[in-house]
Structure 1
Amino acid sequence: MRLDFGIYTRIGLNLLFWAFYFIYPFLRFRYTGEHSITYEEIGFYFLVYGFVLYLNNLVLLPQYLKKHNLRKYLLILLPIMLSVAFFEAYVNKTLLQTCSCEGPNSTYALYNFIHLGILLVLFSAVPVLLNYSAKLKDLERAETDRLEAELKFLKAQVNPHLLFNSLNSIYSYALKKASETPEMVLKLSDLLRYMLYEADKHKVELQKEIEYLNDYIDLQKMRKDGFKVNFEIIGDIEHYSIAPMILINFVENAFKYIDPFQPEINLSLVAQNKTIFFSCENSFNKDSGKSNLLNEQGGLGLKNAKQLLHAFYGERYQLDIHKSDQSFNVKLLITNDEVYNH
């Protein structure tokens, strides 16, 4: 059977503890003449103290750490320690006769009790710390799993109606035998491929995210005639990466709440100085029904984007949203060093 590194470590710590406890006092007392410590005394201490320390570490302490019943733990441990303290006092003064202390056994037993308590605390420190570390890892793992589930849920809400609307449009074009039908199918296929194979990653190449945005824009322009979309890209985008499915929320929101009488969207993306700046501005009509929905809810896409940004970048981003009577503008600045690929 192969032992793991943790077992070797625990064995080493145990040997180090007993070596420090016995070897140093033995050498000091034996060669300075302060105390005539014997091998019998060493064997006695090892058996008695070892019984208490290992009983605690292997049986009592694990039960306490599992159930956190301090009263039951102390009701079992303290009587054992008291019994050992008095037993040690008796053996040292009558059988081994190595104790030069004077006074009643109770006084010597109290000293033994305190001494054993200190040893118990020191000997239990490692398993307690290991248990605490394991619980922290479990909490971190649980928090990571929760965040992963939350991210998947948020990403699943991105473009929930895109597939159905696009299929309806493709169906209409197919009935007319329009020449745009194959290209719409291809664009939709690219979108779905990205959402299936890239969206689960923590970050993707900025170039891929831009291609995804362009495919979405092209598909929307095919579905809705007269839309004017300008997309300006500045910087060496091949050296940058970004968390997926964030920018699409702003673009989708722009198409959803655009002024139907003057449908225009201006997009800008700048990648430089280890930062990513994204701007999305769309025409807006405060008198439209969609305007009222945006005022009340702020747009589901914008809420998703804020949650995703916080999950991926914490406080290392700036998001400004401004709405006027004629336009709706979103500006995002990501300052996380991880966006730049060296």
Structure 2
Amino acid sequence: MKSIIKSKVQIHLLFWILYYILEAYLDFYWSRYQFPDFTWQIRLQNTLLLELGYLLIKIPLAYLLLYVYEKIHFNKVIKCILYILIIILAVLGHRFFTHYIIYPYIYGVTETLGDKQPSGFINGLVAFNSFMDLIFMVGLVFGVEITRQKNMLKEQISQLKSEKLDQELTMLKAQINPHFLFNTLNNIYGMALKKADETPDVILQLSKIMRYNIYEAAEKSISIEKDIENIKDFLQIQKIRHHHLSVQLQESIDNPSQEISPLILIQFVENAFKHGVSESLGESFITIDIKLADGILTYSIENSKEERAHQHSTKIGLKNIRRQLELLYPKHRLTVENKTDRYIVQLKIDFNDTSNL
């Protein structure tokens, strides 16, 4: 709230400084023809003084009209009457200052019309000139304030969208295969009963995965090197669970520090095990190919499945993944082939695309 108020004060202060400079320049330029006998120093001094005096009328007028516009909740007719009354008072104040102070005390002459006839305090022409001077200023002030409010509203909407996106991504990440932990713990329990030598390694790999999911996954982005390392730990544990599994992982990364949203790539691997490999009764395989070249990621997974596996068993998992990709990488390309005996997934992300930012 303080930053918004501070910004409003700064914008309006800058406006009045620029407006004062503009009006002073125009009056100074006009005074060359109105008072040709005055030196430029006197004309400049007089111009600066009279514009300061006008600001004492214009600033209260502008903010009084803004207050009526924003805060007064009367019907339109009453608000229009208020606008008219305020502007009439402002025109009278403008005329009083011009007629009784500027000309006799600043310029030292009597105010005249274009035909050199003395001008009274109020008449049609001079009142119209005062009215136009004030309305021009009011239009500028309203334009600046309405523009500022629209920009502030856009920022608030953008912030709300960002917060909503973050909340949705957090929710989607929380949906990632919670059964993996329980299944792995059951395997470790069985290995511990058998006093298998691999038990400490499996516990270490599981702890690394949990650390990744708790800490690394909370970040908006991590290096692709860390993301691949998490996939490798996941595969090592799965090899112990699935003894008749053939795993091939190929990687070609030209920039290990390339940032990527965590838990995107691993979900395809989890999906391959949950709805493919885990349903296979005999020999099964999973082949993973990860390539990153010139900021373009090409990621493919191919895994075996039973011919009579449930045809729609991957819909929920893929729906989750697709939604995350839509939010994070709008211009990605994802293809999924559900063949008789295998699944083939191919993903392409261009990290150079600014729409991903």
Counterpart for residue 346 of structure 2: 331
The yes-or-no answer on 1:143 pairing with 2:164 is no
Structure 1 counterpart of 2:13 = 11
Partner of 1:119: 137
Distance 1:50 1:238, change over 3 A: closer
Distance in 1 between residues matched to 2:162 and 2:321, nearest whole Å: 19
| Structure 1 residue 311 displacement after superposition | 1.7
- In structure 1, distance between residues paired with 2:347 and 2:86: 65
User: What is the CA–CA distance in structure 2 between the aligned matches of 1:319 and 1:69, rounded to whole Å?
Assistant: 56
Partner of residue 292, structure 2? 271
Structure 1 contact 277–332 (Cα < 8 Å) conserved: yes
**Superposed CA RMSD:** 3.5
1:60: how far off? 3.6
Change (3 A) 1:283 1:55: same
Q: Show the 5 A alignment for 1:15-54.
A: 15-21=17-23, 23-33=24-34, 45-54=54-63
Which residue of the other structure, out of 280, 288, 292, is the alignment partner of 1:260?
Answer: 280
TM-score by length of 1: 0.81
Q: For 2:215 and 2:160, locate their aligned partners in 1 and report how far apart those are by CA, in whole Å.
A: 24
Which residue identity lines up with residue 63 of structure 1 in the other structure? K
What amino acid does structure 1 have at the position aligned with 2:258?
Answer: Y
Alignment pair present for 1:319 and 2:334: yes
Contact 1:253 1:299 in 2 (8 A): no
Per-residue CA deviation, residues 97-120 of structure 1 (Å, 9 max, x unaligned), is 635278994665455444422210
Distance 1:190 1:248 in 2: 14
1:31 is matched by which residue type in structure 2?
A: R
Task: Go from structure 1 to structure 2 and tell me whether the alpha carbon gap of 1:159 and 1:115 turns closer, same or farther (over 3 Å shift).
Answer: same
| Other-structure match for 1:85 | 91
Q: Which runs of 5+ in 2 are unaligned?
A: 104-109
Distance 2:77 2:302 in 1: 65
Q: Measure the CA separation in 2 of the matches of 1:88 and 1:151.
A: 59
Farther off after superposition, 259-268 or 236-245: 236-245
Distance 1:69 1:271 in 2: 63
- Residue 311 of structure 2 corresponds to which residue in structure 1? 292
Question: Which residue identity is paired with 1:134?
Answer: M
After TM superposition, the score normalised by the length of structure 2 is: 0.78
What residue number does 2:268 align with? 250
Q: Tell me the matched-pair count.
A: 327
CA separation of 1:90 and 1:15: change in aligned 2, threshold 3 A: closer
What is aligned with 2:113? 100
Structure-1 separation of matches of 2:265 and 2:346: 11
Rate the CA distance shift 1:327–1:184 in 2: closer, same or farther, 3 A.
same
- Structure 1 residue 133: Cα displacement: 1.9
**Aligned residue type for 1:245:** L
Q: Secondary structure at the match of 2:217?
A: coil
> Structure 1 residues 33, 192: CA separation in 2 closer, same or farther (over 3 Å shift)?
same
Distance 1:318 1:41, change over 3 A: closer
Which runs of 5 or more residues in structure 1 are unaligned? Answer: none
- How far has the Cα of 1:161 moved from its partner? 1.5
Task: Give the residue type in structure 1 aligned to 2:13.
Answer: I
Q: Which amino acid aligns with 2:58?
A: Y
User: CA offsets, 1:226-270, max 9 Å, x none?
Assistant: 122111112435253322111111111110122513321111111
- Where relative contact order (Cα < 8 A, 6+ residues apart) is larger, the structure is 1
**Cα shift readout 1:182-238 (whole Å, capped 9, x = no counterpart):** 222111101011112211222211111111001111112212221221111124352
Checking the alignment, whether the CA contact within 8 Å between 1:252 and 1:301 is kept in structure 2 is no
AA in 2 matched with 1:275 = I
Residues 131, 9 of structure 1: alpha-carbon distance in 2 compared, 3 angstrom cutoff: closer
CA 19–167 in structure 1, closer or farther in 2 if over 3 Å, else same: same
Determine the structure 2 residue equivalent to 1:310: 326
Matches within 5 A, 1:95-244: 98=111, 100=113, 105=123, 109=127, 112-244=130-262
Instruction: Report the Cα distance in structure 2 between the residues aligned to 1:127 and 1:272, rounded to whole angstroms.
Output: 48
SS at match of 1:245: coil
Q: Deviations over 1:129-185 (max 9, x none)?
A: 222222221111111111111111111111222112222222232233333322221
Q: Distance in 1 between matches of 2:127 and 2:206?
A: 83
Give the C-alpha shift of residue 41 in structure 1.
6.5
State the SS of the aligned residue for 1:244. coil
SS of 1:128's equivalent? helix
- SS for the counterpart of 1:285 is coil
Pick closer, same or farther for the CA change 1:44–1:9 going to 2, 3 Å.
Answer: closer
Cα distance in 1 for residues equivalent to 2:97 and 2:223: 75
